[in-house]
């Protein structure tokens, strides 16, 4: 749903310009230094990018999901690490509060998340609980009007920068699955909360991931999202339904850029006395990529419209994330093929994107988990 077309058009044009003039020229440097300069992050704050999905009453832009997707499709034509900086505030690091938080929790955190003054992070995964998130072991034991948290969270995006962590922990050890889990808001600096080392990743250098360790970390009972015990897993699933659609849009944006790089190269590069773009085998790769990007774009926008109508998008968001994340990896692979030896060389953005996009088939649920969700929903519908 597009609430305000003219404001959205201005936002989209501003982001297009920002991507072209500020982000793309810096992306190689950010990747090599594994860091995004503060001035770029400040500019992202000024543009309101941290608050795209946060309601206006809490100082965000309050975009509908369709509007957010339109912005993301442009932003992600620069390296995915720039989206990663705002990604947890727009998505998993803030949505738990937006969807299920109490008024007090919303007032405390959302304005600061919207402005980018603080970074939010989503701590669900554990060393022994990845795809099977409901088997998580981090414990939260009640002690008076507090809970004591113990456990380790793994591969937590933006944890090194985060000021507030949505930590999923088991409040009822007698319920082994989803029902025993609660979601806590844990502030950086809480005694007992510490971080592991920055992981060395295959790609997306400039975006940071580490363990979050909870060692007798005491938090007040009022830190439970919505102040309701035992519904944390459902909060996580609701967050992921929305954020997987956002990730699918990230994939479409990245694929658009990668194809643009491949097309320009194919038009410039001459072999056998003509541009390689004139060869039908190259044209097939360009055309397949174009068609697949178009398909994914339609899926993401359609899913967003359904979400904005307050319909259940569990199946559609998984379909979009599955298709778009697999698609962007195929597009990146073809781009490397079109560039030939140059596609394997660091001087070309395609080499970096090829590594960067591999993550999308893994996080926020692997492709296999998306398949599982889609099929389960299909079976449920006929049972």
C-beta closer to ligand COS: residue 183 or 293: 183
Listed residue (107, 102, 175) closest to 137, CA to CA:
175
Shortest distance (Å) from residue 172 CB to ligand COS: 13
Stretch of 45-53, 74-82, 171-179, 326-334 contacting ligand COS, by CB under 6 A: 171-179
Stretch of 19-27, 99-107, 123-131, 180-188 contacting ligand COS, by CB under 6 A: 123-131
Shortest distance (Å) from residue 113 CB to ligand COS: 17
Distance of alpha carbon 50 from alpha carbon 252, whole angstroms: 20
Listed residue (332, 324, 334) closest to 361, CA to CA:
324
Listed residue (291, 288, 282) closest to 339, CA to CA:
282
94 touches ligand COS by CB under 6 A: no
148 touches ligand COS by CB under 6 A: no
DSSP state of 277: G
CB 232 within 8 A of CB 212: no
364 touches ligand COS by CB under 6 A: yes
Q: Which two tokens stand for residue 193?
A: 């909360």
Cα 166 to Cα 21, 97, 160, 183, distances in angstroms? 35, 9, 14, 6
Shortest distance (Å) from residue 233 CB to ligand COS: 5
CB 93 within 8 A of CB 148: no
Question: Which residue carries 């803030």 as its tokens?
Answer: 94
C-beta closer to ligand COS: residue 125 or 325: 125
DSSP SS3 for 121: strand
Shortest distance (Å) from residue 109 CB to ligand COS: 19
**Where in 103-122 is the site for ligand COS (CB under 6 A)?**
122
365 touches ligand COS by CB under 6 A: yes
Residues sharing a CB contact under 8 Å with residue 150, sequence separation 6 or more, in sequence order: 138, 139, 141, 214, 215, 216, 217
C-beta closer to ligand COS: residue 60 or 365: 365
Give the residue numbers marked as catalytic.
Answer: 364
Q: Compute CA 105 distance to the chain's CA centroid, rounded to the nearest angstrom.
A: 22
Cα 333 to Cα 175, 258, 284, 358, distances in angstroms? 44, 10, 14, 10
Stretch of 126-134, 143-151, 287-295, 345-353 contacting ligand COS, by CB under 6 A: 126-134
Shortest distance (Å) from residue 297 CB to ligand COS: 23
Instruction: Calculate ∠ Cα 297-302-305, nearest 5°.
Output: 130
DSSP state of 23: I
- Region at 151 (left for phi over 0; alpha for psi -120 to 50; beta for the rest): left
134 touches ligand COS by CB under 6 A: yes
335 touches ligand COS by CB under 6 A: no
Q: Which two tokens stand for residue 136?
A: 């998580």
Encoded one letter per residue, x for contact with ligand COS by CB under 6 A and - for no contact, window 215-254 reads ------------------xx--xx-xx-------------
Q: Compute CA 373 distance to the chain's CA centroid, rounded to the nearest angstrom.
A: 18
Shortest distance (Å) from residue 131 CB to ligand COS: 5
The site that binds ligand COS (CB under 6 A) totals a number of residues, namely 23
369 touches ligand COS by CB under 6 A: yes
Stretch of 15-23, 174-182, 208-216, 350-358 contacting ligand COS, by CB under 6 A: 174-182
Listed residue (13, 61, 66, 11) closest to 297, CA to CA:
66
Stretch of 34-42, 160-168, 196-204, 368-376 contacting ligand COS, by CB under 6 A: 368-376
Distance of alpha carbon 35 from alpha carbon 338, whole angstroms: 30
319 touches ligand COS by CB under 6 A: no
124 touches ligand COS by CB under 6 A: yes
C-beta closer to ligand COS: residue 19 or 369: 369
Q: Which residues contact ligand COS (rule: CB under 6 A)?
A: 122, 124-125, 131-134, 177-179, 233-234, 237-238, 240-241, 314, 363-365, 369, 372-373
């Amino acid at each position: 749903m597009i609430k305000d077309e003219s404001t959205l058009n201005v936002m989209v044009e501003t982001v297009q310009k920002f991507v072209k003039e500020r982000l793309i020229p810096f992306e190689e440097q950010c990747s090599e230094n594994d860091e995004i300069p503060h001035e770029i992050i400040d500019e992202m704050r000024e543009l309101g990018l941290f608050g795209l999905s946060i309601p206006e009453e809490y100082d965000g832009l309050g975009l509908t999901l369709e509007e957010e997707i339109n912005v993301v499709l442009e932003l992600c034509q620069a390296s995915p690490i720039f989206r990663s900086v705002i990604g947890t505030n727009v998505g998993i690091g803030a949505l738990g509060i937006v969807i299920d938080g109490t008024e007090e929790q919303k007032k405390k955190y959302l304005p600061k998340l919207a402005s980018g003054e603080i970074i939010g992070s989503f701590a669900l995964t554990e060393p022994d609980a990845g795809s099977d998130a409901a088997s998580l072991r981090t414990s939260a034991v009640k002690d008076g009007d507090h809970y004591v948290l113990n456990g380790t969270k793994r591969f937590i995006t933006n944890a090194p920068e985060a000021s507030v962590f949505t930590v999923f922990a088991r409040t009822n050890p007698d319920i082994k699955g989803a029902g025993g889990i609660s979601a806590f808001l844990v502030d950086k600096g809480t005694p007992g909360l510490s971080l592991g080392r920055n992981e060395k990743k295959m790609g997306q250098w400039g975006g940071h991931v580490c363990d979050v360790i909870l060692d007798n970390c005491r938090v007040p009972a009022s830190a439970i999202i919505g102040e309701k015990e035992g519904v944390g897993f459902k909060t996580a699933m609701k967050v992921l339904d929305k954020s997987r659609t956002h990730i699918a849009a990230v994939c479409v944006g990245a694929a658009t850029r990668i194809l643009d790089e491949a097309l320009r190269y194919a038009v410039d590069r001459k072999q056998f006395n003509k541009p390689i773009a004139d060869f039908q085998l190259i044209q097939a790769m360009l055309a397949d990529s174009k068609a697949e990007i178009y398909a994914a774009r339609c899926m993401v926008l359609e899913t967003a419209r359904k979400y904005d109508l307050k319909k259940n998008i569990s199946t559609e968001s998984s379909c979009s994330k599955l298709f778009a994340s697999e698609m962007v990896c195929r597009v990146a692979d073809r781009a490397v093929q079109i560039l030939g030896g140059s596609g394997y060389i660091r001087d070309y953005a395609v080499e970096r994107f090829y590594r960067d996009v591999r993550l999308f088939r893994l996080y926020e649920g692997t492709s296999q988990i998306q398949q599982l969700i889609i099929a389960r929903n299909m079976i449920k519908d006929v049972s």
